[in-house]
Amino acid sequence: MITVFYDGKCGLCAREINHYRKIAQPDRFNWADVASHPQMLEGYAVSQADALRYLHAVDADGRVHKGVAAFALIWNEIDGWRRFAPMLAWPGVRHVAEAIYALFAHVRFRSYRHCRLAGTAPKMRED
């Protein structure tokens, strides 16, 4: 099962995740809204601020995928989107997609108050 960490308070993000939920096999994904349920991140080396800034997905082996890599992981498991996942591995496409996504994520993160607040919260200690 793939766990997807997303910002449920972001309208665009929530619409996209809801689209995936409707078309994905129900037993393939665990959808975790980290804006409302930050405790879902416990056990992963991902802060709430980072999870709000970038889409994250954890594969069946426990590896965390971030940003474009998370989209590729998700798309690879959804009919209709599966054919696009390999394109994100192409060198030129990957580089451009990552640059565009990083810019979008930065602007979106600064635009939402709940993201800015999470970004200023004290970091949790990892012992």
Res. 79 pLDDT band, cuts 50 70 90: very high
Residues 6+ away with beta carbon under 8 Å from 121: 48, 49
Spell 72-106 as b/e; 16+ CB within 10 A means b: bbbbbbbeebeeebeebeeeeeeeebeeebeeebe
Per-domain residue ranges of the chain: 2-120
Reported as a single tens digit per residue, the pLDDT across 91-113 is 899 999 999 999 988 887 766 55
DSSP type of residue 126:
-
Residue 117's SS3 state is: helix
Res. 126 pLDDT band, cuts 50 70 90: very low
Contact present, 111 and 103 (Cβ < 8 Å): no
pLDDT of amino acid 114 = 52
Contact present, 5 and 41 (Cβ < 8 Å): yes
Reported as a single tens digit per residue, the pLDDT across 40-74 is 999 999 999 899 999 999 999 999 999 999 999 99
CA Rg value for the chain = 14
Cα(63)–Cα(99) distance, rounded to whole angstroms?
22
